[in-house]
Amino acid sequence: MVVKIIGIDHVVLRVADMDRAIRFYCDVLGCKEERRVSEINLVQLRAGRSLIDLVASVDPALEGRTNMDHFALRVEVFDEALLREFFSAHGIDPGEVKRRYGAEGDGPSMYIRDPDGNTVELKGPPEPKSEDDE
For residue 24, the domain's CATH number is 3.10.180.10
The burial of 10, by beta-carbon neighbours within 10 Å (0-12 exposed, 13-18 middle, 19 or more buried), is given as buried
pLDDT above 70: residue 9: yes
The one-letter code for the residue type at 34 is E
pLDDT digits (tens, 9 = 90+) for 51-97: 999 998 765 555 556 687 888 999 999 999 999 999 899 988 998 99
DSSP 8-class letter at 81: H
Kindly report the average pLDDT of the chain as a whole number: 87
Q: How far apart are CA 68 and CA 121, in angstroms?
A: 13
Share of the chain above pLDDT 90, in %: 51
Question: How many domains does one find in the chain?
Answer: 1
pLDDT, average across residues 113-124: 84
Domain region containing 21: 5-133
Whether 133 has a pLDDT exceeding 70, the answer reads: no
**Mean pLDDT in residue range 30-45:** 93
**Prediction pTM value:** 0.74
What is the pLDDT at residue 64? 59
